[in-house]
Amino acid sequence: MNATKLETSRPSRRYYSRKQLFGMLGWSWIQIENVGWWIREEWFERIAGPHGLKWKDWNHSGVLRVIKDGPLRTVYHVPIGDSGIYIKHYRVPGLRTKARQWIRGGKARNEGDKALHLAAIGIPTINPIALGEERKFGLIYENYLVTEEIEGVEPLDKFLEQTLCTFEATRVHKIRRLINEELARLCARLHKSSLIHGDFHPGNLLIKLDENDHPLLVLIDLDALRHRGVPLRQTEIRDNLAQLNNYFWSRSSRAERFRFLESYLKYRRRNNPLAPVNVARFARDIETATRTWAERLWRRWAKRGQSTNKYYKTVTAPSTWAVLSRKIDRDHIKSIVEDPERLIYAPDAVILKHSRSSTVAEVTIRTTEGDQRVVIKKIPTLKPAEFWFGWARSPRAWRAWNAAGHLVARGIPTPLPLAYIAKGSPGTSSGLAKISPAATFTILERPPGMVCLSQHMEKTLVHLPLHLQIKVLLNSVEATAKVVRHMHEMSVSHRDMKAANILVRLLDDGSWREMVLIDLVGVSLHHPLPHHLRVKNLARLAISFQSHGLFHNTIALRFIRAYLPLAYLPKKAWKELWRDVQAEVDRKIRRNTRSGRPLS
């Protein structure tokens, strides 16, 4: 925050009694160098003085708290009286963001105008109390919006995930029904006024319950709100509802989502009739659009680990290109990038695997949360073709790194990727090291208390009596099937899904309820996932159990019945899948036998 720049001179204060800003009366204006501040008269003495906002006082007393921080925007909170204020500081770091503001106007002013429009149509939203704009030659640069804190509210997603679960069951059912109805009413009012929120999710909605548990929903983050000016087309409504539905898709029942749509159409017909629509068909269109939106969102999230952003940072050095998580301690990053192999042979390192193709070790690194055990994997480039034609096919470690990003984005259990380091030959540039590295290193979080499933099978399960083996596997098979089913529903295929690439958290009886996928070189994305890839994944997992002598028809049947969504399939669909998987298992065994490769 450029607090010193805003407090260098003593400007004059002017008072305006007419509607000068956001259509409201009573604003004071002061100029601090290039920044002009409009402040509501009743708030002036509390948040400002002759030198602008009271940055020094807030910093000195330690009440200025950062809520969100990013390259384009920082949000602060300052407690004042019984509540407080929020300050949004919009930055313009590049030419693109500058040009956007010169064409569209300042984000702070636009958000204030939209807040006024929402209040006029009966949608609760933020209340602007101050606006600051930095102008040079009449062009807007950095700008600030100060809003009054709304008491007793919390983000809707936090309320649904944390607060609501502490209530009794009957109250939870009532509140969910009321939220469903109120959310439908809010969407209907927005769309009736030809408004579309471009970042429509529960994180941008605040909720407060009254004494009768009736919810009040407050819409925030209005920079993404767009006014079309003409009645919305049905496709625009569908896509906007699909964006909201993306959150509730996996957190609510189909019946709840259908009731929301019925309520929405009820309010639209009452106020601004839509063309006649088939509700069931419209609901299916929204579900399809939701999945399309989710795929695009997941792929965007997965790219976070490829460049510099608030989650990761790229680092270059002689013959080195790296991308590291911001969770890693800043002072530790330089030593990791310069010589990652030093970690493998540190005194506290535990070598998990050492072969010609790769070396895996469990080590300790410093993070922002303290020392943490992680897994580092080194993969040398052994084949000349892989080195010289790196531009045609990415290194194996880079493919696994990107696959981990896709799994994390989709909520599939896998270790969080922390660092990818590509080391080139001495004298090469960082760009060449990225494309054709001599060795690559990946660092992933080490899930505490988890063991490799293949080791658990070899050391424990195979030595148990048959009836105990079946009991342990029956207690674990449904949890395993749900993870595999979730992976396939998220359009992810893992061609090397075997026990050696699965970590599990063991219970007292040797069974497991949690599992994590590792070694993701064989991961690929296909939307929708073809049937033959599902079959190949299941066959690979079945061969892994069979190679350890733990394949039983009872276990396989229980797995398939847990894997298939039987409520939406023909009664004998499981038999077709059973035959296809068995045929693929036989084909894989014959192929490995001909080539002399062992089964694992």
Q: State the pLDDT at residue 71.
A: 79
Indicate if the pLDDT at residue 220 is higher than 50: yes
Q: In the predicted model, is pLDDT for residue 20 greater than 60?
A: no
- Of 87 and 393, more confident: 87
- Secondary element (H or E) of residue 454: helix 453-459
- What one-character-per-residue DSSP string does 187-215 give? HHHHHHTTEEETT-SGGGEEEEE-TT--E
Residues of the chain above pLDDT 90, percent: 51
CATH of the domain at 280: 1.10.510
Please tell me whether residues 573 and 441 are part of one structural domain.
Answer: no
The residue-averaged pLDDT of 158-171 equals: 91
Per residue in 421-463, pLDDT (tens digit) is 999 988 889 988 888 899 999 999 999 999 999 999 999 999 9
Torsion of CA 80, 86, 92, 96, to 10 degrees: -170
Rounded CA separation 33/10 (Å): 10
300 inside domain? yes
pLDDT the model gives residue 104:
80
Please identify, among 148, 166, 199, the residue that sits at the C-terminal boundary of a domain.
148
Lowest mean pLDDT among 145-154, 310-319, 381-390: 381-390
Identity of the residue numbered 474: L
- Tell me the range of 54-68, 95-109, 521-535 where mean pLDDT is highest: 521-535
Same domain, residue pair 284 and 183: yes
CA 470/CA 476 separation, integer angstroms: 10
pLDDT at 245: 94
DSSP 276: P
- The residue range of the domain holding 537 is 451-595
Place 362 in a pLDDT band, splitting at 50, 70 and 90: very high
For residues 294 and 357, state if they share a domain: no
- Out of 18-22, 567-571, 579-583, least confident range: 18-22
Say whether both 169 and 34 belong to one domain.
Answer: no
Domain closes at, from 417, 445, 473? 445
Average confidence (pLDDT) over 242-263: 91
For residue 271, pLDDT over 70 is answered with: no
Whether residue 143 contacts residue 133, with contact meaning beta carbons closer than 8 Å, is answered with yes
CATH number of the CATH domain containing 528: 1.10.510.10
275-308 confidence digits (pLDDT tens):
677 888 999 999 999 999 999 999 999 999 999 8
In this structure, the answer to whether residues 511 and 390 fall within a common structural domain is no
- Residues 40 and 76 both lie in one domain: yes
**Phi, psi values for residue 535, rounded to 5°:** -60, -45
CATH number for the domain harbouring residue 27:
3.30.200.20
Q: Are residues 441 and 497 in the same domain?
A: no
Same domain (yes/no): 460, 377: no
Q: Are the C-beta atoms of 204 and 154 separated by less than 8 Å? A: no
At residue 15, does pLDDT exceed 60?
Answer: no
Categorize the per-residue pLDDT at 260 as very low, low, confident or very high, splitting at 50, 70 and 90: very high
Residues 25 and 117 in one domain: yes
Report the side by side order of strands in the sheet with 215-219. 154-155, 205-209, 215-219
Place of tokens 């579900």: 287
Based on the fold, state whether residues 294 and 337 are members of the same structural domain: no
304, 336, 367: which is the final residue of a domain?
304
Compute the average pLDDT of residues 345-372.
91
Say which amino acid occupies 540: R
Same domain, 510 and 433: no
Q: What is the CATH number of the domain that holds 344?
A: 3.30.200
Same domain, 143 and 194: no
pTM: 0.82
pLDDT value of position 22: 65
Distance CA 583, CA 572 (A): 17
Residue 9: its pLDDT value, please? 44
Count of domains in the chain? Answer: 4
- Tell me which residue of 69, 74, 82, 32 sits closest to 53, measured CA to CA: 32
Q: What is the 3-state secondary structure (H, E, C) of 464-520?
A: CCHHHHHHHHHHHHHHHHHHHHHHHHCCEEECCCCHHHEEEEECCCCCEEEEEECCC
Residue at 571 is within a domain = yes
User: Between residues 44 and 18, which one has the greater pLDDT?
Assistant: 44
pLDDT above 50 for 7: no
- Let me know if residue 600 belongs to a domain: no
The larger pLDDT score, comparing residue 238 to residue 24, is at 238
Average pLDDT in the 163-170 region?
A: 91
* Per-residue confidence (pLDDT) for residue 13, from 0 to 100: 58
Q: Note the pLDDT of residue 288.
A: 93
Answer whether residue 428 is part of any domain. Answer: yes
Q: How distant, in Å, are the alpha carbons of 130, 155, 445 from that of 151?
A: 19, 12, 39
